[in-house]
Structure 1
Amino acid sequence: MPRPLCLIIGHGPGLGAAYAQAFMDAGYDLALLSRSGARFEGRAQPGAEVAASPCDAADPAALSRVLDQVTRDHGPPEVMIYNADLAMFGTLDDLDEAQFEQSWQVAALGLYTAARKPGRAMAARGSGTIIVSGATAATRGQDWTTAFAPAKAAQRILAQSLAKQLGPKGVHVAYILIDGVIDTADTRADFAKGKPDDFFIQPARIADTAVMLTRQDRSAWSFEIDLRPFGETW
């Protein structure tokens, strides 16, 4: 039997790599898109196919071209994970209009473009899963999330619209609201110096949840599921 295809938009170290490994282990081939064109560096399963392509999710024309190429070369994806993000943090004094717009383009416009390509193809065949990596910033703003929070809020409400449009056509759209600091070398250095291991949310466990979402029966689909470390204040 051919392996189904998982398309990950926003592959790279940390969560993107964890998604790739989890879906590889779950029996999927991988199509990986990122600005850098980062390749899969995990444990490949026998017979699995992996393709990695450079792509800027903030550029609708470029993203559309790459999505078309993925479909031509590897067939339509059964799962699409939108993990593209731009950690554009700062206040009004720190960020300009171009940075604000770029944050929105990556979070929301890129998801819209992706939905118009693989999303509509999934709807046409009546099956598929779209998973969006979200954040608590989508539900509340802070002084340092002047650009990030509006972008994630737009992404979240777009995902909800997609779920209502595509769900009746057999496509499961789910939004993972990540409430915590994801454990990577960068976050440990930049956001949480000296914090103990159990302060962080492990990317592999987020990826486990994504796999679980693809296995939900359509009689009991989740749209939004929040994940946080056990000690997180919320």
Structure 2
Amino acid sequence: MADQQCCVIVGVGPGLGAAVARRFAAAGYAVALASRNPDRLAPLVAEIAAAGGSARAYRADATDETEVTALFDAAEKDLGPIGVAVFNASGRVRKPIAEIEAQEFIDAWMRGCFGGFLVGREAARRMQPRNAGTILFTGATASVKAFPLSAGFAVAKYGLRALAESMARALQPEGIHVAHFVIDGAIGSDETNARLDPTAIAETYYQTHAQHPSAWSSSVELRPWTENF
């Protein structure tokens, strides 16, 4: 399609990242799948192609400014103008505060927050001249609630939420939709629906992207019906 747009997804694993890729590919987007280990994405690329979609895997470390810029350059060159960017990468350290090494804390923040800044900034730079686009950030319970062992995780997620809020206020008047998702619960599939099904989450991501500009969501919380909050 000559007018096909690209959806860049940074942080693609077998769960939510893959589900988001399938959903946007089914909607007609050419999907750029970014991971530090792109070879493992070959089955997903083949699956999307077999379903009639378009996808390509790229190597990119979300904490490396040069690699993130190169990713967006390559995705636009190979797949078309970027209409959607999804930041789904994360870093986690689960330890008592006295046991967290400084580098562990820095690495978790870099993967979970600084990477979001680089991806969000690069997406904004591509979308602002067109006054259109959607930028989506995957958060967690730790985005709003810091538990005793979550200092090495919550700091990054709180920061990512602050980044998304700032970007939403700055960019939405320019026609760029920015939304942050609090994924409150474990992701997976079971018969009781006690966990967040990745396909259901991906559908919410897509429907948020598809919202009419007169009624945009900038903050969305998702949890199973059994989850306490």
TM-score for the superposition, normalised by structure 2: 0.91
Of 45-54 and 7-16, the range deviating more from structure 2:
45-54
In structure 2, give the amino acid aligned to 1:164.
R
Secondary structure of 1:44 counterpart: helix
Of 145, 152, 161, 1:147 maps to: 152
Q: Which residue of 2 aligns with 1:113?
A: 118
Task: Please point out which of 223, 226, 230 is paired with 2:221.
Answer: 226
AA aligned to 1:49 is S
2:89 to 84, 87, 91: 84
Alignment check: 8 A CA contact 1:76 1:118 kept: no
Q: Kindly report which structure 2 residues correspond to 1:162-201, keeping only aligned pairs within 5 A, or say none.
A: 162-183=167-188, 197-201=192-196
Task: Write the letter of the residue equivalent to 1:39.
Answer: A
**Relative to structure 2, which stretch is displaced further, 215-224 or 59-68?**
59-68
Aligned residue among 31, 37, 42 for 1:39: 42
Aligned to 1:124: 129
Q: Which residue of structure 2 lines up, in the alignment, with residue 188 of structure 1?
A: none
Q: In structure 2, what is the Cα distance between the partners aligned to 1:35 and 1:130?
A: 21
Moved more, 61-70 or 129-138: 61-70
Cα distance between partner residues in 2 of 1:40 and 1:77: 23
Name stretches of at least 5 consecutive residues in structure 2 with no aligned partner: none
User: What is the SS of the residue equivalent to 1:199?
Assistant: coil
- Given that 1:8 and 1:80 are in contact with CA atoms closer than 8 Å, whether structure 2 keeps it comes out as yes
Q: CA deviation at 1:86?
A: 1.6
Preserved contact between residue 32 and residue 39 of structure 1 (Cα < 8 Å): no
CA distance in 2 between counterparts of 1:3 and 1:75 reads 6
Gaps of 5+ in 1: 185-194
User: Are 1:216 and 2:217 matched, yes or no?
Assistant: no
The offset of 1:78, in angstroms, is: 0.5
Indicate if the aligned counterparts of 2:87 and 2:136 stay in contact, CA closer than 8 A: yes
Distance 1:88 1:39 in 2: 29
Counterparts of 1:25 and 1:73 in 2: how far apart (Å)?
19
* TM-aligned CA deviation for residue 142 of structure 1: 0.8
- Structure 2 partner of 1:101: 106
| CA distance in structure 2 between the partners assigned to 1:164 and 1:11 by the alignment | 27
Comparing 38-47 with 80-89, which one deviates more in the overlay?
Answer: 38-47
Q: Give the distance between the partners of 1:136 and 1:50, measured in 2 at CA.
A: 30
Q: Note closer, same or farther for the CA distance 1:53–1:142 as it changes in structure 2 (3 Å cut).
A: same
Q: Which residue of 2 aligns with 1:15?
A: 16
Correspondence for 1:204 among 184, 199, 203: 199
Alpha-carbon deviation of 1:17? Answer: 0.5
Q: Deviations over 1:114-160 (max 9, x none)?
A: 12222122111010000111111011111111110010000000000
Equivalenced residue count is 224
